[in-house]
Structure 1
Amino acid sequence: MGKTKNSSRAPFPVGIGKVLKRLHYPLDVILLCVRWYVAYSLSLRNLEEMMAERGIEVDHSSVHRWMIKLVPLFEKAFRRIKRPAGKSWRMDETYVKVKGQWKYLYRAVDKQGNTIDFLLRVHRDKAAARRYFDEAIAQNVEPETITVDKSGANLAALEALNAERKKPIQIRQNKYLNNVIEQDHRAIKRVIKPMMGFKSFQCARIILSCIEMMHMIRKGQMQHVGDTRTAAEQFYSLVM
């Protein structure tokens, strides 16, 4: 895995190929570092040391740059093949530190635990919740039921949404039924913890999207019937 060019690979998708030309590292090194960073509880310094043990000189700032450049392309490819989730949603928000301040990651799963969608917002209010619901519904199968906790902002956003719909969504406020989303938050927070917060909102949004994507791959949300590939192989297939 040295700094060599890979001439025998199949052509890359146009957008990804252009980005890779500017990164000056072999694809296998780049993908390994990106996947490890979003799949496991590691800091960028951890990755730098781990690669050095394998005889590969990779600066932690390079890994961060790879994330920012490539992740939006990964996410775009993943969303085209993401398996549809169910129509019974459990929605909640969790906290993420950005520039020393808490921001809000809105998330939802269906009753089987499949991720519906996610959205990082600066504020935790009716407008933020409404933006989340609008984007999640636009990109997924329309829900029949959405369960939220006792948050007044989430309820107000759903009621405003229903006021504009011919067929209203059934709203449930039940903390017990939302245990599945609260448990799912933990998988995301476990990966975020060693990162010690994000330097900017844009950086947080991009990296969180890849963490969420890897989490969905592990839950089988990219698999086709009969697909026996590992989560790592599925991740790499997004660009190969």
Structure 2
Amino acid sequence: PERKVPIGFWMHRSYVPFISMSHFKNIHWHTLKPIIEEIWRQGHQVLFYAEGDWTTHLDSFAELPEGSIVFHVDRSDIYEVRKKLKDRFCVSGGIPNWLLSIGTPEEVQRYCKKVIDVLASDGGYIMDASAIIQNDAKVENVKAMTEFTRSYGLYPLEQAQGLKQQLHSMEEVDETGPTLRSKVKPGICIPWEEKRKELPRILGGENLLRRIWEEVESFGYLFIWQILLSF
């Protein structure tokens, strides 16, 4: 409602060769394009979460109003994406999920450099995996992607060193001052002790209610992290 984030649009395989080019142009794109244009007229941007290889259809997407979408790269050719879309839209993604799962941190960093050089040299790029980061992604690889982007992916590039120092100073902890620590254990959003205060008198077994609450609450925590890691 506040128009601060794009409206997510998951584009599942509506491209050649899953459908013919004729079906794409005359059915899929013929109906989708005016919807995106109307959403843009209403002041909303759309995230084209383009899972799969949409390289064949980049010319069609370039017909949309400038700035109306964020194009997320899964398997599309990043060089073609830059050539046909980069001057019109923000681009995100491009780091293969398989690389995060079975690659090394060094391989991840090299690939991140390639994607940043192609898609982010003049801004307008959001670092992300090709698709939602899966459970088999190595922690050290996700960390390598994040840390490399924060050090190499700052722009304008000539100001990178100054911004890097600024980020470092923001992260420094004043060891002489008080240390703020969360009272909530990791993996929990709302502890049972806090939720219990909102409930009326419990006549039955409180342990049963607590167990059910903590099981349900854990799904909420998992959902939040899924969204954070995905977008």
Both structures adopt the same fold (TM-score exceeding 0.5) = no
**Larger Rg: 1 or 2?**
2
- Higher RCO (CA < 8 A, seq sep 6+): 1
Normalised TM-score (structure 2): 0.25
Normalised TM-score (structure 1): 0.24
